[in-house]
Amino acid sequence: MSTQDLARAHGAPVLKARLRTTVEDFRVDEIDTFEPSGSGEHLLLAIEKRGMTTMHALRRIAQWAGVAESAIGYAGLKDRHAVTRQRFTVWIPKKISPDVTALQADDFKVLSADWHARKLPRGALTGNRFVLMLRGVEGERDAIEARLQMIAARGVPNYFGEQRFGRGGDNVSQALAMFAGKRVRRDERSLLLSAARSQIFNAVLDQRVQRNDWDQGIEGDVFMLDGSHSVFGPVEVDETIATRLASFDIHPTGPMWGRGELRPQAAIRVLESYIAQTYAELCDGLEKAGMKQERRGLRLKVSALAWTWQAEDVLSLSFQLPAGSYATTVLRELGDVEDVQRP
């Protein structure tokens, strides 16, 4: 199933627009989880980069420091066609930092450099702050603003974005080839396993959106605490659960497929089992690869959502999302946004 075919939760598109006409139209800042410790053998660098992938930045830092790429830590991958701020750590055992000014360039700025006690692990961020500029906007302004208000009040389906599925969306077919015996590199294997799990999750969420219960508690649901990976349930969907759902304290979940017992019960177990049968080759491949059953929230909370009209057809959006979610899933609930940099 293509991401373009996934059901929308808030109705038909209310706008058409273009994204990333310039690199400055897509800005992302990591929201950090901790402050530098002030001591240790890892130099914690806060970087602003333009038009550059995270891995390209990592290689530039490794070359500057004269260390292996494995000595560099980072919390998350960021888009190439954007202005992004994120942190890296570089292990310097002699605790003598190379000249930081040698890293400075028009497309690569060091915002701060502090000593820290340990390597920055993947996922060590609260979320990301986005500032997006939509150009060539077509649509009724009142309808667009009403949709934005609905998104702020109700959230959006927490779909995996098209970035998860690779250039041309062929990561799932490559995953099937891998499961059939095709040899792949270790880093490629991880990407393909993620794409396979994401396909199954999106298919479950698509069905929940069509049923209009993606943000509600249904008998048999398993719930996740907002801002964490902690899950509980199934439990009786009573007034307390309904209140917690309405306040974004908890979210219904869907499967990240792997070995182990499927946790939901009743109608939700039936639905997820049906999707698993539909994608039996992916599910079987994931289980044989050693992946374990996990859960992911079906609903994405869009925090601090604000907007301004820069011109009659230019709309600026700003919002915050938790780690592991996609700005494109917010935009698709507005309408048809052409990412001019996406192949």
Which are the catalytic amino acids?
79
**Residue 22: how many other CB atoms lie within 10 Å:** 12
CA distance 136 to 32: 33
Q: Which tokens is 313 given?
A: 């057809």
Helices (H), the chain: 54-65, 141-154, 171-179, 186-211, 239-246, 266-278, 280-288, 327-334
CA distance 125 to 31: 6
CA distance 200 to 176: 13
| CA proximity to 328, closest of 104, 132, 43 | 132
CB 221 within 8 A of CB 259: no
Question: What distances in angstroms separate CA 321 from CA 18, 129, 155, 222, one per listed residue?
Answer: 21, 7, 10, 22
CB 39 within 8 A of CB 164: no
CA distance 205 to 296: 10
The upper half-sphere exposure of residue 103, i.e. CA atoms within 13 Å in the direction of its Cβ, equals 25
CB 341 within 8 A of CB 162: no
| CA proximity to 335, closest of 4, 2, 1 | 4
3-class DSSP assignment, residue 46: strand
Cα 138 to chain centroid distance, Å, stands at 27
Cis peptide before 252 (omega within 30 of 0): no
Q: Which residues contact 217 (CB under 8 A, 6 or more apart)?
A: 223, 237, 241, 242, 245, 252
What's the DSSP call for residue 99?
-
| CA proximity to 160, closest of 151, 169, 149 | 169
